[in-house]
Amino acid sequence: MNLFNKITKIELKRVIWALISIQIIMFLILVYVRESFENFHLTFESVHSKFASAISALPFWQASILIAFWITILLLLITIIGGYFYEARQRTLLKFSLNQAELIALKARVQPHFLFNTLNTIIYLINDNQDKAIATTRRLAELYRYILKASEAVSISLEEELNCVKQYLLIEKERFGDRLTFNIDLPEDWMKREVPGLILQPLIENCVLHGLTNSLENGRIEIFHEKNQDKESIVIKDNGVGIGERKLKNLLQSDRYGLKSVNERWLLFANNPLRLESKPGQGTCCYLDWE
C-alpha cells in the first residue's frame, strides 16, 4: 500500500484533534517564553496579537522552521481531506462497477452450459454414487447462494471468495475426474482481507473452460501467494494450452472472457491492474497485485 493510501486511512477526527493540541501547546510555549501566564488574557484579539508578536520576535531561522512546519501540517490536512473525498468517490465508482459486473457474472453463472453440465453430472451420480450426488447438489446451491450475496455487497472476505472458488472447482472435478486437480495455498492472515465479490471466479472459470478443456494432459490449477519487492500478489496459475502474444495483448479489453470487468474492478479496488503472463503450451498466470 502506498503512502497516499496509508495517509487517507487515518481517522480525520484524530488528525484534527492532534493538530489542535499541537497548536495549543506550541502557542502556550511561545506565550510562556515572552511573558508570564498571569498577564495573559485569552481573547481572539490578544491571541492573534500575542502569537504574531511571538513569531516576529523569534530569530529568522526559528520562524522559518515554524512556518514551514505549519505549511507542512496544512498540506497534510488538505491531503487527508482530499483523500477522504477521493476514497469516497472511488468506492462509489467501485460499487457502481460491481453492481454491473455482478449482474454480468450472475448471468454468466446461470448460463445453460454450466447448469446443464452440473445437473447431468448429478443425474449420473444419483445412479452411481448417491453421496457424491448429494454433495454436488449442495455445492451447486452454495455456489448460487454466494453469487446472490456477492452481487449485493461492495466487498467480501477473501475466505468467502475462496470457498466459492472451491465449490466451483469441486463441481467441475466431478465432470473432469482425474483430469482436473487444484491447490489453494494462501496465508491464513489474508483470509479476512476484503476483495470484490466474484473477483477470482471468472479467472478460475477461464482456466477450466479455455485453459484445460482442450488440453490432453491432466489439468492443474494453483492459487497461491507471491511476494516481489514492494508488491504482494494472489497468483492463479494453470498448465493449460496457453495464449498467444497477440491475443494476450487484447484480452483485458475484451468482454468475451469477462477479464475486462475483472481488470476494471481490481484497478478501482487495489489501484493495480490485472496482470497476465502466458505462452502457447506453457499455461497462463494471472496476478492480482496488492501493494
pLDDT digits (tens, 9 = 90+) for 66-121: 667 777 777 777 777 766 666 666 666 666 555 555 555 554 544 567 778 888 88
Determine the CATH number of domain 110-290. Answer: 3.30.565.10
Kindly report the average pLDDT of the chain as a whole number. 76
- Give me the mean pLDDT over the 131-158 stretch: 86
- What's the rounded Cα separation, in Å, for the pair 204 and 114? 14
Higher per-residue confidence, 59 vs 174: 174
Q: Which are the contacts of 212, defined by CB distance < 8 A and separation ≥ 6?
A: 176, 179, 180, 219, 221, 238, 239, 240
Backbone angles phi, psi at 6, to 5 degrees: -65, -45
Sorted by where each begins, the domain ranges of the chain are: 3-86, 110-290
Helix (H, G, I), strand (E, B) or coil at 280: coil
Contact 285, 278 (CB under 8 A): yes
What pLDDT is attached to residue 8? 45
Count H helices, E strands: the chain?
Answer: 10, 7
Residue type at 211 in one-letter notation? G
Strand pairing report for 156-157 and 231-238: unpaired
- pLDDT interval class at 256 (50, 70, 90): low
Percent of the chain residues past pLDDT 70, beyond the cut: 63
- What's the rounded Cα separation, in Å, for the pair 116 and 15? 56
CA separation, residue 122 to residues 108, 116, 135, 201 (Å): 20, 10, 9, 22
